Amino acid sequence: MPGYSINGGTSVSSLAFDDDLILTATNAPQARELLDYMEAYLSGLGTTISAPKCACFRIAPAKDSWYLISPWAGISSENIKTELLATLQRVRNLALKPYQKVNLISTYLVPHYLYQLVTAVPPMTLLRCLDQELRVVIKDIYHLPQSTANGLIYCGKRDGGLGFPNLEVITVTSTLAAGYRFLNSTDP
């Protein structure tokens, strides 16, 4: 089976040690093909892959090094800004009262994109940009001047604010909490 090509010559499709197995591929379709082949092979041996113990990631080149794009298959932050802006524009155009629009954004949209942000680990500049876009939309929905203090948006409702979640803070703390739980996990 073809795998990841090293220096254009040697192709490595799998690495194994004891009951651990690493499949390597140059693209997602090839990885899917290797996984299907491995599942069929293991099925013939009377065993299966334990999905909860599996992980998938993609490594991409940076300027002078390599970095992990996404620890979960299929989740990345590449198009999240475009998708969020398009969705926010649709919410702006809905025939709802302002508080209903903001409630829709904070209850449904933010958690949806928050999951993607926590699992894809985007750059801080993207998080700050998304927060800025959300603030602009919320101020526009409530007909507030853009110079209105951001504290009004992020301050809790019982303190007179809108109680809107700050994506940057929540994403970073959620990612750190998940990493901390992973480090302290008893699962081998």
When pLDDT is averaged across residues 48-58 and rounded to a whole number, the result is 74
Could you give the angle at the alpha carbon of 148 between the alpha carbons of 143 and 149, nearest 5°? 140
With contact defined as beta carbons under 8 Å apart, do 14 and 24 qualify? Answer: yes
What region does 57 belong to: left with phi over 0, alpha with psi -120 to 50, or beta?
beta
Q: 17 burial class (0-12, 13-18, 19+ CB within 10 angstroms)?
A: exposed
The one-character DSSP state at 26 is S
pLDDT at position 28: 76
Q: Are 59 and 66 in contact, with CB atoms under 8 Å apart?
A: yes
Q: Which residues are paired to 10 by β-bridges?
A: 6
**Rounded to an integer, what distance in angstroms lies between the CA atom of residue 149 and that of residue 128?**
16
Range with the poorest average pLDDT among 33-37, 53-57, 66-70: 66-70
Q: What is the pLDDT of residue 73?
A: 47
Q: Specify the higher pLDDT residue, 127 or 13.
A: 127
Question: Mean pLDDT of all residues in the chain?
Answer: 82
Question: Which range has highest mean pLDDT (38-47, 121-130, 135-144, 160-169)?
Answer: 135-144
pLDDT of residue 71: 47
Helix (H) or strand (E) holding 21: strand 20-23
The Cα–Cα gap between 125 and 110 comes to 17
The average pLDDT across 134-150 equals 93
* Pairwise CA distance, residues 68 & 97, whole Å: 42
Q: The tokens 């293991």 sit on which residue? A: 42
pLDDT of residue 185: 74
The span from the CA of 118 to the CA of 99, in Å, is 27
What percent of the chain has pLDDT above 90? 26
Mean pLDDT over 32-46 rounds to 87
Say whether pLDDT at 131 is over 90.
yes
Give me the long-range contacts of 29-37 (CB less than 8 A, separation at least 24). Answer: 30/2, 30/3, 31/56, 33/1, 34/1, 34/3, 37/1
Q: State pTM to two decimals.
A: 0.58
Residue 72 has pLDDT above 80, yes or no: no
**pLDDT above 90 (res 98):** yes
Q: What is the mean pLDDT of residues 71-76?
A: 52
